[in-house]
């Protein structure tokens, strides 16, 4: 399966545009497998350095995971203040304590206005943005999380460091 | 893998239990598209992901006025516990007695006693317009269904 929506400036990106390999993850903040993949991605970034660009897109299974949608919308709020990755990392690093309180405390710790974020969550200001990611994943054949695309091709293996590193190495 | 009924075949009608005291027939939905998602079993990990995914994509299916129904050989009480646990917003039909009879009609019954992981998109006249049988351990996702629904409107 191929990624149907190309990476654009509207995406959340770590790494340079000219990187040889682009790794796109579709993830859910409440999914424990995504929690397990979080340090794996960090290791991959360390291992491949400038040759790897990482993109995160939202794929919340909101009916199964009550905090998934709010978490995704909170990161989108943070993105408007240039703090996407701080909140993204903060959630995965404290995934077992994921709650409204955690989101607010991460906001405060990162210099965001927790009240404004809470209002945005209540109004679902960023729901459309999250949905756009979700549907681009569905159209690209994402069937669960985490789903990884390496240079636009859906990665079918186990989401562990060795397997992902080998797949990245193969296209580098 | 079984030979499932292909596109261009008239969808065989059936009546199955959907709750302990209700049944549903395919013919009730004439006039709107129907998605039949046969899956091997409630509670098994891949199916759960598949049904959880369809639960999220449901609003997209509804944009095409399509009715989604999950079907397995599990009984109604099992379906009801599973649907409740996963917060599913679409019906699960019990192909329970005679076991797998509807799955057999659609060519989606497996020797070991469960249904295939097979998808059918049926148009408003009751004709199968798209079908797909996935390897039993692979969640087929939702993009094929959405493409088939879009093709109905062309």
B53 interface with A at CB cutoff 8 Å: yes
Contact B53 A141 (CB under 8 A): no
Helical ranges in A49-113 per DSSP H: 68-80, 84-93, 100-109
Considering only the beta carbons, identify the residue of A64, A134, A144 that sits closest to B87: A64
Mean pLDDT of A17-43: 97
Write down the pLDDT at residue B48: 63
Q: Is the pLDDT of residue A154 over 90?
A: yes
Which of B47, B51, B93, B122 is an active site residue? B47
Chain B residues touching residue A144 (CB < 8 angstroms): 49, 52-53, 139
Facing B56 at nearest CB: one of A1, A63, A140:
A63
Q: Is any Cβ of chain B less than 8 angstroms from the Cβ of A17?
A: no
Instruction: Find the range with the poorest average confidence among A5-9, B42-46, B136-140.
Output: B42-46
Let me know: does A57 contact A25? Beta carbons within 8 Å. Answer: yes
Contact A142 B86 (CB under 8 A): no
- Band of residue A1 on the pLDDT scale cut at 50, 70, 90: confident
Helix (H) or strand (E) holding A127: helix A127-139
- The full length of chain B comes to 154
pTM: 0.93
Distance CA B74, CA B93 (A): 8
Residues in chain A: 172
Distance between CA atoms of residues B26 and B19, nearest Å? 15
Residue in B143, B146, B150 to test binding to A, most A beta-carbons within 10 Å: B143
- With an 8 Å Cβ cutoff, are A63 and B146 in contact? no
Tell me the fold of B15-152: Glutaredoxin (3.40.30)
Q: What is the dihedral of CA A161, A162, A164, A166, to 10 degrees?
A: 150
For residues B49 and A63, what is the distance between their CA atoms, to the nearest angstrom?
12
Q: What is the pLDDT of residue B47?
A: 62
Q: Is the peptide bond before A146 cis (omega within 30 degrees of 0)?
A: yes
Task: Confirm whether B47 is a catalytic residue.
Answer: yes
- Chain A: give the shortest CA distance to residue B74, in Å: 21
Q: Which domains does chain A have, with CATH numbers?
A: 12-171 (3.40.30.10)
Task: State pLDDT tens for residues A83-131.
Answer: 999 999 999 999 999 999 999 999 999 999 999 999 999 999 999 999 9
User: Can you give the pLDDT at residue A16?
Assistant: 92
Looking at the complex, report in whole angstroms how far the Cα of residue A132 sits from the nearest Cα belonging to chain B.
Answer: 12
Alpha-carbon distances, residue B116 vs A74, A151, B58, B108 (angstroms): 40, 32, 22, 5
B65-88: per-residue pLDDT in tens?
999 999 999 999 999 999 999 999
Q: A117: Cβ–Cβ under 8 A, 6 or more apart, which residues?
A: A74, A77, A78, A103, A104, A107
- Give B23-81 pLDDT, tens digit per residue: 999 999 999 999 999 999 999 877 668 999 999 999 999 999 999 999 999 999 999 99
- pLDDT for A70: 98
Residue A157 clears pLDDT 70, i.e. is over it: yes
Kindly give the pairing relationship between strand A147-150 and strand A153-154: antiparallel
* Backbone angle region of A28, left / alpha / beta, with phi > 0 → left and psi within -120 to 50 → alpha: beta
- State mean pLDDT over A48-61: 97
CA angle, residues B74, B77, B78, in degrees to nearest 5: 45
Question: ipTM > 0.85?
Answer: yes
Whether the per-residue pLDDT at A18 is higher than 70: the answer is yes
Check whether A153 has a pLDDT greater than 70: yes
Q: Output the average pLDDT for chain B.
A: 95
A2 → chain B, closest CA residue: B143
Burial of B142 by CB count in 10 Å (0-12 exposed, 13-18 middle, 19+ buried)? buried
Q: How far is B106 from chain A (nearest CA, A)?
A: 24
Tell whether B115 lies on the interface with A, counting CB pairs under 8 A. no
Cα B68 from chain centroid (whole Å): 7
Pseudo-torsion of CA B82, B85, B91, B92, nearest 10°?
-10
Burial class (CB in 10 A: 0-12, 13-18, 19+), A164: buried
Predicted pLDDT at B76: 97
What would the two tokens of residue A172 be? 């580098």
**Any B CB within 8 A of A142 CB:** yes
A137 pLDDT exceeds 90? yes
Domain positions in chain B are 15-152
If DSSP codes are grouped into helix, strand and coil, which group holds residue A60? coil
The closest alpha carbon to A26, from B56, B120, B128, belongs to: B56
Q: What own/partner pairs with CB < 8 Å and gap ≥ 24 does B97-103 have?
A: B99/B73, B100/B73, B101/B14, B102/B12, B102/B14, B102/B16, B102/B71, B103/B38, B103/B71, B103/B73
- Cβ burial, residue B10 (10 Å; 0-12/13-18/19+): exposed
Structure tokens at A20: 């040889």
pLDDT for the residue B1: 64
């Amino acid at each position: 399966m191929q990624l149907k929506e190309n990476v654009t400036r509207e995406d959340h990106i770590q790494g340079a545009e000219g990187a040889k390999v682009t790794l796109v993850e579709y993830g859910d903040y409440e999914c424990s497998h995504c929690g397990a993949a979080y340090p794996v991605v960090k290791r991959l970034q360390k291992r491949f350095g400038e040759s790897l660009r990482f993109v995160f897109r939202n794929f919340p299974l909101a009916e199964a995971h009550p905090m998934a949608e709010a978490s995704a919308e909170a990161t989108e709020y943070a993105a408007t203040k240039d703090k996407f990755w701080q909140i993204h990392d903060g959630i995965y690093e404290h995934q077992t304590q994921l709650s409204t309180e955690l989101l607010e405390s991460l906001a405060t710790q990162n210099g965001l206005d927790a009240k404004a974020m809470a209002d945005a969550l209540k109004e679902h200001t960023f729901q459309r943005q999250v949905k756009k990611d979700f549907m681009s994943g569905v159209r690209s054949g994402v069937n669960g999380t985490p789903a990884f695309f390496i240079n636009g091709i859906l990665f079918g293996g186990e989401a562990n460091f060795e397997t992902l590193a080998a797949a990245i190495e193969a296209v580098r | 893998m079984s030979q499932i009924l292909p596109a261009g075949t008239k969808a065989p009608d059936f009546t199955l239990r959907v709750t302990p005291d209700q049944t549903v027939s395919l013919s009730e939905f004439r006039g709107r598209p129907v998605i039949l998602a046969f899956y091997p079993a409630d509670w098994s990990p891949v199916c759960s992901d598949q049904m959880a995914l369809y639960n999220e994509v449901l609003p997209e299916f509804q944009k095409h006025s399509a009715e989604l129904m999950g079907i397995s050989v599990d009984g109604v009480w099992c379906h009801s516990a599973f649907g409740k646990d996963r917060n599913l917003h679409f019906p699960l039909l019990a192909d329970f007695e005679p076991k797998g009879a509807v799955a057999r009609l659609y060519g989606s019954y497996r020797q070991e006693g469960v249904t295939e992981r097979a998808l059918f998109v049926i148009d408003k006249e009751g004709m199968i317009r798209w079908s797909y049988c996935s390897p039993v351990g692979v969640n087929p996702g939702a993009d094929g269904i959405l493409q088939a629904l879009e093709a109905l409107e062309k």
